């Protein structure tokens, strides 16, 4: 013990690190009585990031970032017992980091800790939030399966819609015209060197600011922020009732951080990393590409919105949200911090969480992909058990129309709902569509007999808002 202490004193004498670590550990923090546990989210995010760094280094040492070997090296890693656990930790660690940084952002927003003098704390935090999203996004492609492939293509398409520089941006992301080996190299470098390096730098700045400005005190209705008097008032508060971060407040961070590590490692061992999807191969069409859960909601929205609004949602939505995040601490730099006096903040947080949860749930059923398991239409939907209408209903199922089209609640939602096709479409329109297909619908020109077509037409024309009695001779 004494030896250790002497070694430390010797090291500190030569380096002076205690001058840097000291303030980090025992800077005074305001006593947060009831809300104390809300303050552990930032350090827990940092712990999740460090988990990612350690497991990421381990994974990178067994992974070959080339289009020929990426998939098979990952398969090899997942097959080894330790490799499986390490990949699992990296996988659940990413989810943990997303959840924690999200909660941390919400906490800071609801308590309006971004107000004077902590605007730079907020801005560096926004940068860290975006970098975290960039990390999970680039990480997806490294798996080099259908899902990663497909999400990058969508992102490139999205980038392509940005005015003026869109084309260049799309090419920049893909490192070419399409997803290939060059894309993989680019994503690997971003995921392993560029983004983590930036995160380290900005986390350092963020922590420096935490010490420099002090941790915000829990908001109170009768203490609005006045930039002119805030600092002296805050220092007086710390002198009066502050406590050193270590150990008076930090034990909570330690306990919570430990729980985070325990949960992530536990999930990695018990549940394990997700199976790798199919290797990327443009000739496989039956894959159901699925982004990670934290992107579900976004892909669901993209696949459900009408075409005219795509640019709005893909470009202007993120741009406006980003601008709001950046402007917030300047527009609302002083005044009330208490969420009780800022009821809108609750509404905004609830709306965002609802959108993520609701569309995330929609995204789970992957509306963008055909429903291969749709059962044949039951007789109460079809209305008859034999004759051309019943035959048509069978064709509708057997030819896969039902994979993409809903009728009375049965089937997929990739194409338009055909429950009332008899009211909205003429036989000629239906025939043309079946023969020529569409952007997301195959052509059945060479894949359907004229008998099948007329049965299908009879069935679709019988889909009315008011069920029409079948003519008496329909059962022949
Ligand atoms: C892979 C999915 C898919 C399959 C399979 C499919 N469709 Fe479609 N269908 C679509 C999509 C997507 C559209 C919308 C195309 C557009 O408007 O650009 C569409 C449009 C249509 C329309 C026009 C609807 C309207 O309101 O304009 C009809 C009719 C139709 N399909 C019938 C069929 C029939 C009949 C079959 C089976 C023989 C079938 N579809 C198979 C995806 C599919």
Cα dihedral across residues 253, 254, 255, 258: positive or negative: positive
End-to-end CA distance of the chain: 97
- For the chain of 476 residues, list the mean pLDDT of each consecutive stretch of 10: 93 91 85 85 97 97 91 91 95 97 97 95 98 94 82 80 86 85 93 97 96 92 92 93 87 96 97 80 54 83 77 86 96 92 94 92 72 81 90 90 86 85 91 84 83 93 74 53
Residue 367 has what pLDDT?
Answer: 67
Beta-carbon count within 10 A of 188 CB: 20
Whether the model clears a pTM of 0.85, i.e. scores above it, the answer is no
Residue 286 has what pLDDT?
Answer: 45
Atom 11 of ligand 1, residue of closest alpha carbon: 415
Q: Which domains does the chain have, with CATH numbers?
A: 23-364 (1.20.810.10), 379-475 (1.10.760.10)
The C-alpha atoms of residue 322 and residue 127 are separated, in whole angstroms, by 10
Q: Is 438 helix (H, G, I), strand (E, B) or coil?
A: strand
Residue 206 has what pLDDT?
Answer: 97
Nearest-atom number in ligand 1 for the CA of 412 is 2
CA distances (Å), origin 188, targets 56, 66, 142, 281: 11, 10, 7, 20
C-alpha of residue 432 to centroid of ligand 1, in Å: 11
The C-alpha atoms of residue 260 and residue 324 are separated, in whole angstroms, by 30
C-alpha of residue 421 to centroid of ligand 1, in Å: 11
Q: Is the bond preceding 241 in cis, omega lying within 30 degrees of 0?
A: no
Query: Residue 439: CB partners within 8 Å, gap ≥ 6?
Result: none
Residues with CB under 6 A from ligand 1: 370, 399-401, 403-405, 414-416, 421, 425, 430, 433-434, 438-442, 444, 456
Residue 157 has what pLDDT?
Answer: 76
Atom 16 of ligand 1, residue of closest alpha carbon: 438
């Amino acid at each position: 013990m004494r030896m250790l202490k002497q070694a430390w004193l010797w090291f500190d004498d030569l380096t002076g690190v205690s001058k840097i670590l000291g303030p980090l550990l025992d800077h005074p923090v305001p006593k947060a009585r009831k809300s104390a546990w809300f303050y552990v989210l930032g350090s827990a995010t940092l712990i999740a990031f460090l988990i990612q760094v350690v497991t990421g280094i381990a994974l990178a040492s067994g992974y070959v970032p080339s289009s020929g070997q990426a998939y098979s090296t990952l398969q090899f890693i997942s097959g080894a017992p330790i490799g499986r656990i390490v990949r699992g930790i990296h996988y659940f660690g990413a989810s943990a980091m997303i959840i924690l940084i999200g909660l941390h952002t919400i906490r800071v927003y609801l308590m309006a800790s971004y107000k004077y003098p902590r605007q730079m704390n907020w801005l560096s935090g926004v940068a860290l939030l975006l970098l975290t999203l960039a990390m999970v996004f680039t990480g997806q492609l490294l798996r080099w399966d259908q899902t990663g492939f497909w999400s990058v293509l969508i992102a490139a398409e999205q980038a392509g819609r940005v005015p003026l520089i869109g084309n260049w941006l799309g090419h920049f992301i893909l490192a070419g015209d399409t997803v290939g080996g060059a894309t993989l190299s680019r994503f690997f470098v971003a995921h392993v060197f560029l983004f983590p390096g930036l995160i380290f730098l900005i986390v350092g700045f963020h922590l420096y600011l935490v010490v420099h400005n002090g941790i915000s005190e829990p908001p109170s209705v009768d203490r609005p922020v006045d930039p002119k008097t805030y600092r002296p008032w805050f220092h007086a508060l710390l002198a009066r009732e502050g406590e050193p971060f270590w150990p008076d407040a930090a034990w909570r961070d330690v306990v919570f951080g430990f729980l985070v590590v325990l949960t992530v490692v536990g999930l990695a061992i018990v549940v394990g990393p997700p199976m790798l999807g199919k290797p990327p191969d443009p000739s496989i069409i039956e894959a159901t590409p699925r982004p990670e859960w934290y992107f579900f909601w976004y892909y669901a929205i993209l696949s459900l919105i009408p075409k005219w609004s795509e640019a709005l949602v893909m470009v202007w939505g993120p741009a406006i949200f980003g601008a709001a995040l950046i402007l917030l601490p300047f527009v609302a730099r002083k005044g009330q911090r208490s969420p009780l006096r800022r009821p809108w903040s609750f509404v905004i947080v609830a709306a965002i969480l609802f959108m993520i949860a609701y569309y995330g749930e929609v995204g789970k059923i992957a509306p963008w992909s055909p429903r291969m398991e749709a059962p044949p239409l039951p007789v109460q939907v079809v209305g008859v058990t034999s004759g051309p209408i019943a035959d048509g209903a069978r064709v509708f199922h057997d030819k896969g129309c039902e994979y993409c089209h809903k009728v009375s609640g049965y089937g997929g939602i990739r194409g338009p709902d055909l429950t009332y096709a008899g009211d909205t479409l003429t036989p000629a329109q239906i025939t043309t569509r079946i023969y020529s297909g569409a952007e997301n619908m195959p052509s059945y020109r060479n894949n359907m007999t004229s008998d099948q077509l007329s049965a299908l037409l009879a069935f679709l024309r019988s889909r009315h808002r008011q069920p029409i009695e079948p003519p008496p001779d329909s059962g022949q």
